[in-house]
């Protein structure tokens, strides 16, 4: 008999990109990852609130659950599928957008535990997101992780199409 090979499932995440309109401008909500590795990273360090999809879980359900776990807020409204994109690290991320308003000062993020400092034998808890903020899309583009900027483009395309009557968000 041959050797048994382990099958590893690709890591797949889902998230929600909250947006709101402010006059003619569109703003999106991004979160800043918690923990010591992200502490001093600002531009290129912000993210769409997201997390891993559990086995058998519907991706949109995972996106809503993860947003709530990372922010303490359950988004509402109609959800617009922005598709998926493979990230530089190999993970695939699925994103939905919804128009909603939330005060980032109410952030209540879940936490994760990691050994810190490295090889110290001491473990500390850190928030998944240490802060969240609204950004106009052009500033968001400077702050968001490189692999996630495609979702800003897709949101702009959907909103432009809906202005001209070519698309309807479902």
What pLDDT sits at residue 166? 53
Is residue 21 in some structural domain?
yes
Is residue 124 in some structural domain?
yes
Between 87 and 41, where is the model more confident? 87
What pLDDT sits at residue 170? 42
Show the tokens assigned to 76. 């509402």
What pLDDT sits at residue 63? 97
Between 100 and 37, where is the model more confident? 100
> pTM of the entire structure?
0.87
CATH of the domain at 120: 3.90.79.10
Instruction: Write the pLDDT tens digit of every residue in 50-79.
Output: 999 999 999 999 999 999 999 999 998 999
> Number of structural domains, the chain?
1
3-state secondary structure of 66: helix
Is residue 84 in some structural domain?
yes
Is residue 110 in some structural domain?
yes
What pLDDT sits at residue 168? 45
Distances in Å between the Cα of 27 and the Cα atoms of 20, 59, 162 are 5, 24, 17
pLDDT at 134 over 50: yes
128, 47 contact by CB (below 8 A): no
Dihedral of CA 143/33/52/134: which sign?
Answer: negative
Is residue 170 in some structural domain?
no
Is residue 82 in some structural domain?
yes
Show the tokens assigned to 165. 């009557």
The boundaries of the domain holding residue 142 are 12-163
Is residue 5 in some structural domain?
no
Is residue 144 in some structural domain?
yes
What pLDDT sits at residue 69? 96
What pLDDT sits at residue 10? 66
Instruction: Write the pLDDT tens digit of every residue in 93-131.
Output: 999 999 999 999 999 999 999 898 889 999 999 999 999
């Amino acid at each position: 008999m041959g050797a048994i090979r382990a099958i590893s499932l690709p890591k797949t995440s889902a998230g929600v990109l909250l947006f709101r309109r402010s006059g003619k401008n569109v703003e999106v909500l991004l979160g800043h990852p918690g923990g010591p590795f992200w502490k001093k990273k600002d531009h290129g360090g912000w993210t769409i609130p997201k997390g891993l999809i559990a086995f058998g879980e519907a991706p949109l359900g995972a996106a809503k659950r993860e947003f709530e776990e990372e922010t303490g807020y359950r988004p509402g409204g109609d959800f617009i599928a922005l598709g998926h994109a493979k990230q530089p690290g190999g993970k695939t991320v699925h994103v939905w957008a919804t128009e909603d308003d939330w005060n980032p000062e109410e952030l209540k993020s879940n936490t994760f535990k990691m050994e810190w400092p490295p090889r110290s034998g001491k473990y500390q808890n850190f928030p998944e997101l240490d802060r969240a903020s609204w950004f106009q899309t052009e500033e968001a583009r400077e702050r968001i992780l490189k692999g996630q900027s495609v979702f800003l483009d897709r949101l702009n395309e959907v909103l432009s199409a809906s202005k001209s009557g070519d698309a309807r968000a479902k």
